[in-house]
Structure 1
């Protein structure tokens, strides 16, 4: 089976987890399929002025250049199926049209909510926002949801509206892949055809060794920013009387403020800064617990998969996909998002019975082995490809 794999890489100055997920999937697929790449790099784009930013945003609706380039590549390579990841802003829905016009069925992985939300994240001011689902997409203009600008937001609104009106979202994609049932529900509520959405979670390319959880600390790994709920975590930790250390592995715009907060309140918190992935896996494997206190709609956090792979239970906020991924009492625990008292109470309960965390570790590890390995992902992906090709009439294919 020959697969055309397409992706637009984010700027290196603003690295995205989507790029990492794409690279992992590309490596896996190239080991098992004949893969043709069609890739663009946003580092190549000039957005140094507002006018150029508006132009780039508008070009996200349709690209004649992309249509022509991809049409030529399809004629040269004759793939059985095209699988897209990030299409913004260079690939655009015109890439789907090029595939359909050449008889190549299209699979589109949805890492975010860009096709229903001009800001892509269903987030505003660090909190969930569904104004464009519950009401008019014009709400995005009022809130300046893309780059805090009415013109650039307007361009994003136009991209969504145009591809709704011309039927591109419904007709030019044979199968959408959402990472969770929660994401699928929001995408469908925002107008994508639910019957075309399949669930396929993220995965880890490798299978790390199981950790022992004997480090005597709790860990948070990730960006130190408002929407991640890190302030809620520290306020709750302030209420915890325990010799156990809270370690924060990561960096971000709140670091200086958080360090000052911990210093002034004499909190038992250690800031580790940025850590290489292998160090992260070792830290998470030795941790008693991984905390994911997010206050926005995460996609499918790799930090949870890394914790599961090491057998480390997860304490997560009960919001969006996190509520779905973490199973209460089986792979971890949950608390109300942004609720200091809820988090404090849950932490106290967990720390009063550390033996339960140890007993949970084999189950956590087994959940990873059963659901989130490269082998699991390959089987799911192959099944999706086969179904899409089978359901595409032979006379419509290349």
Structure 2
């Protein structure tokens, strides 16, 4: 199969980029002919470029031309779009339609429903624009990078393409990563029949760890929505009961350095390569996830499962779907450090349960999140889209 993959990479690399690269590698390993067309935001540095990008984010003629030329030269059977914002723009859908090539899109975030992509504002979940034809609350609050002007362009993109039914007419199949995310897009008036769930996966399999490290692990961007404040508050209450290793960086990194300076049982490792992160996961007693927003998936949780490491996660968004309490992990109330402390203490006081939880975590990975399982799901989606497209 000939597959053209389109992806707009952000200036700050993240999990979305990892997933795109991993899926591309999996398809190539299975003998498919892949063309990868990637753009990025690196050139957007001055006010003129930012203004031009904002206008083009609504409908970029140059991106449409670029994609149409790529289609004409490569002649793909299918186009898989991962992210079009802001450089590609929704115009790429129209290039595919004109070339009569079916389109699959993975919805890695909530950008088509929410100007800031996260359904999160002022430190809490926000659904003010969900289902609204005109997403005016986002403009009032300046949800896109704190700018009402910038948000107005994003909201205009959403409004224009809802008006022209771009989301429903131009995409043959959407992939959401969880049932939770699928339901949010249905609430946002996306056609239910075009939304199918296919989770992320780990490739290659990092292998199971032994859990012999005497520490807990947190791997995340250090920002408010990731719950770093809740995490550090909990570890202050826990005292010296267990060491917490933190991997990652971000705008709230100073909170971590302060915690270390204050003598909390915390070790900050900063950024680490993925192979080292997997080693840390495999040795950890458990992974902690403190998300306070609707994560669309939570790749870090299934990385832990692959290593056989149980996960203590906040009971919100995707994690409520990924974690089975007292089986492959535990759930705590989002933003509630006292409840997080209670769940950590439960694990520390029930060491006899850890072996079975590790087995359950690894079994969950093998049942749902291997490359082989995911490849079968992706091929089924492609084949159904191609079959429908013939008629």
TM interval, shorter chain, is over 0.9
Q: Does 1:7 align with 2:7?
A: yes
CA RMSD of aligned residues (A): 1.5
Q: In structure 1, how many angstroms separate the alpha carbons of the residues matched to 2:37 and 2:258? A: 46
Counterparts in 2 of 1:249 and 1:46: CA distance versus 1, 3 Å: closer
Q: Following TM superposition, where does structure 1 have runs of at least 4 consecutive aligned residues deviating by more than 6 angstroms?
A: none
Separation in 2, partners of 1:241, 1:37: 49
> Post-superposition shift, 1:267?
2.0
CA contact (8 A) 1:111 1:299 kept: yes
In structure 2, the partner of 1:380 is: 377
Q: What is the match of residue 142 of structure 1?
A: 140
The correspondence for 1:169, drawn from 155, 167, 170, is 167
Once residues 197 and 134 of structure 1 are traced to their aligned partners in structure 2, the CA distance between those partners, rounded to angstroms, is 16
CA distance in 1, matches of 2:69, 2:213: 56
Q: Secondary structure at the match of 1:247?
A: strand
| Whole-angstrom distance in 2 between the partners of 1:341 and 1:237 | 10
Structure 1 residues 46 and 269, CA, compared in 2 at 3 Å: closer, same or farther? closer
CA contact (8 A) 2:240 2:264 kept: no
Superimposed CA distance per residue, residues 61-114 of structure 1 (whole angstroms, 9 cap, x where no aligned partner): 111122222222222222111110011112211111111121111000010011
In the TM superposition, residue 176 of structure 1 has moved relative to its aligned partner by 0.3
The answer to whether structure 1 residue 327 and structure 2 residue 321 are counterparts is: no
For 2:291, the equivalent position in structure 1 comes to: 294
Give distance in 2, aligned partners of 1:280 and 1:79. Answer: 36
Map 1:205-244; keep pairs closer than 5 Å.
205-240=203-238, 242-244=240-242
Where 2:135 maps in the other structure, the secondary structure is coil
- For structure 2, the 5+ residue unaligned runs are none
- 1:41 is aligned to 2:10: no
Residue in 2 that maps onto 1:22:
20
TM superposition score normalised by structure 1:
0.94
CA distance in 1 between partners of 2:241 and 2:111 (Å): 44
Question: Given the alignment, which residue of 365, 369, 379 partners 1:368?
Answer: 365
Kindly indicate whether residue 73 of structure 2 is the aligned counterpart of residue 76 of structure 1.
yes
Secondary structure, in 3 states, of the residue corresponding to 2:185? Answer: helix
Unaligned runs of 5+ in 1: none
1:101 corresponds in structure 2 to 98
Which of 174, 177, 188 is the equivalent residue of 1:179? 177
Shift of 1:324: 0.7
Give the Cα separation in 1 of the matches to 2:210 and 2:67. Answer: 49
Could you tell me whether the CA contact under 8 Å between 2:124 and 2:293 is conserved in 1?
A: yes
CA offset digits 1:29-65 (Å, max 9, x no partner): 122212122222222x33411x532331221111112
Q: Deviations over 1:283-326 (max 9, x none)?
A: 11011000001111112222112100100000000001111111
Distance, in Å, in 1 between the alignment partners of 2:64 and 2:272 is 41
Contact 2:105/2:173 (8 A) holds in 1: yes
Residue 259 of structure 1 corresponds to which residue in structure 2? Answer: 257
3-state SS in 2 of match to 1:22: helix
CA distance in 2, matches of 1:321, 1:300: 5
1:123 correspondence with 2:131: no
In structure 2, what is the Cα distance between the partners aligned to 1:241 and 1:23? 40
**Cα distance in 1, alignment partners of residues 114 and 154 from structure 2:** 8
Aligned length: 389
Question: Take 1:77 and 1:346, find their aligned partners in 2: how far apart are those partners?
Answer: 53
**Distance in structure 2 (CA, Å) of the matches to 1:375 and 1:55:** 43
Contact 1:58 1:159 in 2 (8 A): no
Partner of 1:57: 54
- TM-superposed CA distance for 1:261, in Å, is 3.4
CA distance in 2, matches of 1:343, 1:227: 16
